[in-house]
Amino acid sequence: MKEHLFTFMGTAAGCGVPSFFCTCPACEEARADPTLARGDCGVMVRRTGLPEAETPTVVIDTPPDARHQLLREGVHHVDEVLFTHCHFDHIGGLGEYEYLVGLVRGGVPLPAFASAEAQAGIRAEFHYMDWCLDFQGIAPFETHVFDGVRYTALPVTHAPGTYGYLVETDATRLFYASDTGPLPPETTEAVRGVDILAMDATFWKRNWNAEAHHSVQECIEEGLALDAGTIYLTHLCMHYDEPITCAELETYLEQYGGRVKMAKDGLTLPL
Ligand SMILES: [Zn+2]
Ligand SMILES: [Zn+2]
Ligand SMILES: [Zn+2]
């Protein structure tokens, strides 16, 4: 039985869609239809069926749009934060949590999990929040359990110390890797055959940062090769190189018969 929900809080690569400085077809499509807009990448895992105040809630990353994303999902509290890495598009909204700790948690620091490298970066950028975060290291391949959900930190190909998280319940195995080039072999073996893969698909067509990201096609090919049940494209830029609209990408994905989907902000999957 599926007792948890996995929500895409944001699904864009850094600068979002629309970007304030961009008038490409993808950004204009999102301006015309805000349901197609994307905030920076993050996800949330919650238990179902409990009153809001008692619902165990974990977020992975605190993107710059965190406040709007949490408001949109009707979230009143967060119990733990896991970080993939310390780039701005994944941590820029951490400052919002200072108020949560001060006003809601009575000053009790928020448990936070990150690699040593990510922790150092976050501490440097948010030096004034030391009192808010109870950093607990999580080593590569280490599993952290919260509310019956297992989170295993798996190294990916991005900035040093970047993780993807294998998120497992008794019903579902999901691998979330918002920022990664080709997966390292040990990580590939650890996630082979996952029910759900939510992975970096930053570029449409040309990938000009192949050491750190996937193109849409590379994400699909790697996902199919590791026998993922359903593949969700996330960290979508839609305009770093050749722009593509959601309408065009939906049409392109029809060839996969529903096995490959675009992640969307607010999309929620049972776990
Ligand atoms: Zn990113
Ligand atoms: Zn654009
Ligand atoms: Zn990054």
Judge whether 88 lies within some domain: yes
Task: Output the CA 179–ligand 2 centroid distance in Å.
Answer: 20
Judge whether 179 lies within some domain: yes
Judge whether 259 lies within some domain: yes
Mean pLDDT for all residues in the chain:
97
Judge whether 39 lies within some domain: yes
Residue 207 pLDDT greater than 90, yes or no: yes
Q: Please give the angle made by the CA atoms of 89, 95 and 100, to the nearest 5 degrees.
A: 125
Task: Output the CA 264–ligand 2 centroid distance in Å.
Answer: 16
Residue 50 pLDDT greater than 90, yes or no: yes
Other beta carbons within 10 Å of 145: 10
Neighbours of ion ligand 1 (CB under 5 A): 89, 179
Query: In Å, what is the CA distance from 154 to each residue of 108, 114, 162, 218, 229?
Result: 28, 11, 8, 19, 19
pTM for the model stands at 0.97
Task: Output the CA 87–ligand 1 centroid distance in Å.
Answer: 7
Judge whether 270 lies within some domain: no
H helix intervals, the chain: 25-32, 66-72, 88-91, 96-99, 116-125, 185-191, 216-225, 246-253
Count of structural domains within the chain: 1
Convert the pLDDT of each residue in 75-117 to its tens digit.
999 999 999 999 999 999 999 999 999 999 999 999 999 999 9
Q: List Cβ neighbours of 20 (8 Å cut-off, separation of 6 or more).
A: none
Q: Span 194-207, mean pLDDT?
A: 96
Other beta carbons within 10 Å of 93: 25
Instruction: For residue 184, give the DSSP letter.
Output: P
pLDDT value, residue 28: 97
Query: In Å, what is the CA distance from 149 to each residue of 42, 91, 115, 192?
Result: 17, 23, 19, 19
Judge whether 271 lies within some domain: no
Segments forming the whole domain that contains residue 115: 4-265
Other beta carbons within 10 Å of 182: 14
pLDDT value, residue 241: 80
Task: Output the CA 29–ligand 2 centroid distance in Å.
Answer: 9
Residue 139 belongs to a domain with what CATH number? 3.60.15.10
Judge whether 163 lies within some domain: yes
pLDDT value, residue 1: 84
Neighbours of ion ligand 2 (CB under 5 A): 22, 24, 26-27, 239
Convert the pLDDT of each residue in 215-264 to its tens digit.
999 999 999 999 999 999 999 998 888 899 999 999 999 999 999 999 99
Task: Output the CA 200–ligand 2 centroid distance in Å.
Answer: 18
Q: What percent of the chain has pLDDT above 70?
A: 100
Among candidates 50, 40, 42, which has minimal Cα distance to 4? Answer: 50
pLDDT value, residue 190: 98
Read off the tokens for 104: 């809601």
Ligand number with the minimum distance to the CA of 64: 1
Judge whether 109 lies within some domain: yes
